[in-house]
Structure 1
Amino acid sequence: MTGFRLTQYAHGGGCSCKIPPGELEDIVRGLTGYTSPELVVGLDDGDDASVVAIDDTTAVVCTADFFTPVVDDPYDFGRVAAANALSDIYAMGGRPLVAVNLVGWPRDVLPTEVLREVLRGGLDVARTAQCHVGGGHSIDDPEPKYGMAVTGVANPHRLLRNDSARAGRPISLSKPLGVGMLNNRHKATGEVFPQAIASMVALNRQAGRDALDAGITAATDVTGFGLLGHLYKMVRASGVSAVIDAAAVPYLDGAREALRDGYVSGGTKSNLDWVRSGLRASVDEDELLLLADAQTSGGLLVVGEIPGAPVIGEIVPRGEHLISVR
């Protein structure tokens, strides 16, 4: 497995290869607005997963997430992709039940043994999450891609949503930022950053449970649109604004050095450009790029306090700017 650098077989990597948020909103404009008593959460606010109520106590939570390699090691790639897909269920306050693999593979370029390691990594993380893996779908693809479609369950009256943030509440972050910068450096140089891998493969299960136990109703996970992008979607959907204390935001070791040395993805720059019209900042451009860094399998951004997650800001009444960074 060591003879192949998976990141060299794809133009992007991880969640930074997502379609830019502004462009994606243009694509789905006109496709929103579908309402149904059973569809509790749909497309309208770009939440982390869809939710369909089955009865008064049970809802089905559905999501899908896949991407090109974010790390060179195939087993780690599988673990990261699986943890990232499962995170959408936790971000809604749900419990994953079953997942199916989503695979695109350049069969004439990369051996099937490499793909087997990717799938093994995904299976191991799903087992840790006590989530069944029940097959999947694969295609012959010029670039390697892997992820999962995940189905979970939740109480329809105890959800974590991105449209329920309320003024006067603190904002907490369950994982440090910076994996985007470190992954971009890894792709360019081959340097391995165990701290980034450890962060990406860690499940958001406990953070989701703690949020529900604390009576919290608003949360989202921080992935390809960066902290600023996902917070922007949340405050816009909730009719509020947010203030971020930049000095309180945690970062992985090496993230600032990667920024200093220029390892900034195009996705990160697109994220910052997207939120600029609603942003007021008293910090410099580098700090904003860190806050907009395209994360892969990032933490939960929670409106409330949970154990082990630093408070990085607060929700305030809707003002002239959707987000203020100081």
Structure 2
Amino acid sequence: MSDTTIPTPRLTELAHGGGCGCKLAPSVLQQLLADQPLAAAFPQLLVGNETADDAAVWQIDAQTCVIATTDFFMPMVDDPRDFGRIAATNAISDIYAMGGRPIMALAILGMPVDRMPVAMIREILAGGASICAEAGIPIAGGHSIDAPEPIYGLAVIGLCAPKDLRRNHGAQPGDALILTKPLGVGVYSAAIKKQLLDADGLAAMIATTTTLNRIGTDLAREPAVHAMTDVTGFGILGHGLEMARGSDVQLVIDASRLPLLGEAATLAQRGLATGASGRNWTAYGAEVTLPDGMADWWKVLLTDPQTSGGLLLSVAAEDADAVLARVREAGHSAAAIIGRVAPGSGITVAV
């Protein structure tokens, strides 16, 4: 069959999952990595696979660290250019979440070439390249394979000074918690699969998932920002738990203060959810205390896998309002203070 006779499919119909909802459940990932060798023999490796941080970090000298990450997934939208844009924004976010400045990327591409027109695949690549151009970095190469489902993402390299490196631990009791983007991307993607998301909802989702988290580079230079991570496939509870465990603290999250995409609560109440949401709760729900009588749809939103989600910040309480204002001025209008850090362990959700 020639390319001209290949019908143009809906991207989301070609994949069994989409976005960061494709991630393996936290419990499965933990099992897979349980017997992997740690990198303690490499003193320059400041961050490796011994923690749940967003990227690996190698110290070159007293002034420079290299940050390396990779992220890829299957489509959660049908427009190929938007898929490329979302995937690229999501991959670059890991660099920003560590406090780094991205310098270049490599493309990761797997496509069912017998089921997709070449022009459609080119649009995915063009979308990723447009976001890299916005971030000021080149796509310097990559690798492609013929795959049964469409997969796209990036390996990204960044730099930071050792003193500016931020990790998902370091949160201190008394800190305020700030989330920079609204939740609900996974619920929206489930609605897209069923063609239940209207045009305004789709536009809002694309807008947030293609907004670069570049504010992370600037925030890393602020001593008041003690810990930072991005919220992706494990949801606000999963990535919050990684921060709580790494910092040996408890996070107290006020559900009523969580920023949500406009239709997220309504869709969740209608039963829209990804399979990843349930897997997430099974993996870590034992470490979470919910208020008595909390509606089940709230659990969906708290475990909702975010694709290209926001940054979760642990900030000295006295500086939280100033940091929040700075985040909003950088274009994250939905950013909010969502809770606090307390002594203890796990996460307690309040209303």
TM-score range, shorter chain: over 0.9
Determine whether 1:292 maps to 2:298.
no
Once the 2 structures are TM-superposed, how far is the Cα of residue 215 of structure 1 from its aligned partner? 3.7
Determine whether 1:24 maps to 2:50.
no
Residue 76 (structure 1) aligns with:
82
How far, CA to CA, are the matches of 1:214 and 1:195 in structure 2? Answer: 33
Give deviations 1:279-312, integer Å, cap 9, x for gaps: 1110332212201100100000000132323110
> Which of 327, 330, 336 is equivalent to 1:310?
336
SS in structure 2 of the partner of residue 148 of structure 1: strand
Alignment of 1:93-172 (within 5 A): 93-172=99-178
Alignment of 1:1-326 (within 5 A): 3-31=8-36, 33-35=38-40, 36-189=42-195, 191=197, 192=199, 193-213=202-222, 215-282=224-291, 283-304=294-315, 305=320, 306=323, 307=325, 308=328, 309-319=335-345, 322-326=346-350
- For 1:19, give the aligned amino acid: L
How far, CA to CA, are the matches of 1:216 and 1:164 in structure 2? Answer: 9
SS in structure 2 of the partner of residue 157 of structure 1: helix
SS in structure 1 of the partner of residue 194 of structure 2: helix
RMSD of aligned residue pairs (Cα, Å): 1.5
How far, CA to CA, are the matches of 1:244 and 1:56 in structure 2? Answer: 37
TM-score normalized with structure 2 length: 0.89
- Whether contact under 8 Å (1:45, 1:163) holds in the other structure is no
Once the 2 structures are TM-superposed, how far is the Cα of residue 132 of structure 1 from its aligned partner? 1.3
- For 2:57, give the aligned amino acid: V
Q: If you compute each CA radius of gyration, which structure gives the higher value, 1 or 2?
A: 2
- Whether contact under 8 Å (2:238, 2:303) holds in the other structure is yes
How far, CA to CA, are the matches of 1:37 and 1:234 in structure 2? Answer: 23
- Whether contact under 8 Å (2:249, 2:343) holds in the other structure is yes
- For 1:303, give the aligned amino acid: S
Moved over 3 A (4+): none
- For 1:301, give the aligned amino acid: L
Give deviations 1:11-47, integer Å, cap 9, x for gaps: 0000001111110011001225321220111111111
How far, CA to CA, are the matches of 1:111 and 1:46 in structure 2? Answer: 38
Give deviations 1:190-240, integer Å, cap 9, x for gaps: 644110010000000024423533541311100000010001111111111
SS in structure 1 of the partner of residue 221 of structure 2: helix
Residue 332 (structure 2) aligns with:
none
SS in structure 2 of the partner of residue 163 of structure 1: coil
Once the 2 structures are TM-superposed, how far is the Cα of residue 183 of structure 1 from its aligned partner? 1.1
How far, CA to CA, are the matches of 1:13 and 1:196 in structure 2? Answer: 14
Residue segments in structure 2 that go unaligned for 5+ positions in a row: 1-5, 329-334
- For 1:160, give the aligned amino acid: R
Q: Which moved more, 1:34-43 or 1:141-150?
A: 34-43
Aligned length: 324
- Whether contact under 8 Å (1:226, 1:292) holds in the other structure is yes
How far, CA to CA, are the matches of 2:224 and 2:100 in structure 1? Answer: 14
Seen in structure 2, the aligned counterparts of structure 1 residues 184 and 298 have a Cα distance that, compared at 3 Å, is same
How far, CA to CA, are the matches of 2:342 and 2:169 in structure 1? Answer: 14
Seen in structure 2, the aligned counterparts of structure 1 residues 208 and 268 have a Cα distance that, compared at 3 Å, is farther
How far, CA to CA, are the matches of 2:296 and 2:194 in structure 1? Answer: 23
How far, CA to CA, are the matches of 2:341 and 2:27 in structure 1? Answer: 23
Once the 2 structures are TM-superposed, how far is the Cα of residue 155 of structure 1 from its aligned partner? 1.0
- Whether contact under 8 Å (2:91, 2:156) holds in the other structure is yes
Residue segments in structure 1 that go unaligned for 5+ positions in a row: none
